[in-house]
Amino acid sequence: MRLKKIFENAPEVDAIVLTNAASPHVDMSFFYVTGLISGIFEGCSAIVYPDHIELLTSALEEESARKGGFDVSVFRTKEEGETHLRSKLKGLKKIGINADELTYGSLLKLKKNSEAEFVDVSAAINKARLTKDKEEVSRIRTACDIISRVTEEIPQMVHAGMTEQELAAEINYSMQKKGASQPAFPSLICFGKNASEPHHSSDETSLKKGDFILCDIGAQYKRYVSDITRTFIFGTAEENQKAMYAAVLRSQALALEHMKEGVEGCDVHTMVKEFLDESYPGRFIHGLGHSIGLSVHDGGRMGADSDLMLEQGMVFTVEPGVYIPGYGGVRIEDDVLITEKGVDILTTAGKELQVL
């Protein structure tokens, strides 16, 4: 079914070749079409047809590759790999490539071993990956359940004087104990004024009374991810902090009320931005949300310049925020499945303001 979804929207090609370079330049669409969970598959390729897949894999990944039941060709040297690739591509006149993820070096290797015309089919791949099938939704639900349970534990993890890195370590440990294979991305823990930086990297900043505690975290389960953000206040909360939190929480509720199949993503973003600009002009500085799946940013987004129409089966983050440099910030983020009539909220951690 996944192969059919891609070829239905792709330009006419004889086959699609998904070629990986060295990590981290590994195309997650390789795992989308194969469904493989184990393995890294550096330097390996999937030759994709409408009805089957052929894998070209290193000996290092042979055992993992054979779990998919595909036709598998194994190479032990670079030269042997190119010989296999040349054989696989022989006779193909037009080959689809995922230009969004293909390195220039990998493209040169393909051209060296085939005289075919290469056609970018990344738009078709991205479109297919945007709407999730039952297995994908199931894995995302599990990732969301794991991270929701971890988030509920954060108030018990926090204590005065701990560093951002220490809280990140506690969170990462908890999620893996609960079944995550690893964090979906480096956990973003932001104390105090660091919370005004949306992608602040956790450091040795210590927690003190009155600080914001912004936790942007996610779990990976069988390659699929979750992404949640909760903001707390430590010790005592100022009225300004309470007002910021209330505004962000209300703005997210507005978004969730309006999201459903057939709604333009940019319209939801604009509505939220206009609401927040009434009290905090210019302080909502990013898009409202992005799709998740095999990647944390899975190809779709809700922003001012987005032309995406929400469709049933898409999974999006909804993450309004207000950021005041030198003071701090509030972000509240949940993962939702788009349905015909609204959204199914997949992350369940409470989000009323907690002063810890």
Residues 216-248 have pLDDT tens digits of: 999 999 999 999 999 999 999 999 999 999 999
Expressed in angstroms, the distance from the first to the final Cα of the chain is: 48
Res 27: pLDDT: 96
Under CATH, which number does the domain 2-129 receive? 3.40.350.10
Using alpha carbons, list the distances in angstroms from residue 260 to 265, 310, 312, 343: 10, 7, 8, 6
Q: Is the Cα torsion angle 176, 179, 184, 187 positive or negative in sign?
A: negative
Q: What is the pTM of this model?
A: 0.95
Per the prediction, the chain carries an average pLDDT of 97
Alpha carbons 123 and 10: distance in angstroms, whole number: 8
- Summarised one tens digit per residue, pLDDT across range 157-166 is 999 999 999 9
Give percent above pLDDT 90 in the chain: 99
Mean predicted confidence (pLDDT) in 93-103: 97
pLDDT, position 166: 98
pLDDT at 259: 97
- CATH number for 134-345: choose from 3.40.50.620, 1.20.1050.10, 3.30.70.940, 3.90.230.10: 3.90.230.10
269-315 pLDDT, tens digit per residue, is: 999 999 999 999 999 999 999 999 999 999 899 999 999 999 999 99
Structure tokens at 4: 């059919």
In the block, which residue shows the tokens 């709407």? 131
Q: What is the mean pLDDT of residues 51-72?
A: 95
DSSP string, 43-107: T-EEEE-SS-EEEEEEGGGHHHHHTTT-EEEEESSHHHHHHHHHHHHTT-SEEEE-TTT--HHHH
Q: Evaluate the CA torsion angle 53, 54, 55, 56 in order and state its sign.
A: negative
Give the pairing type, strands 219-221 and 182-183: antiparallel
Do the Cβ atoms of 2 and 33 come closer than 8 Å?
Answer: yes
């590759």: which residue's tokens? 65
Domain residue ranges of the chain, discontinuous segments joined by + = 2-129, 134-345
Q: What is the pLDDT of residue 193?
A: 98
The predicted model gives 328-334 an average pLDDT of: 98
Alpha carbon distance 336, 312 (integer Å): 11
Contact in structure between 147 and 181 (CB atoms under 8 Å)? no
Quote the CA–CA distance of 195 and 10 in Å, as a whole number. 42
Q: Which two tokens stand for residue 199?
A: 């992608």
- Say if residues 61 and 39 touch (Cβ distance below 8 Å): yes
CA distance 40 to 327: 42
pLDDT of residue 339: 94
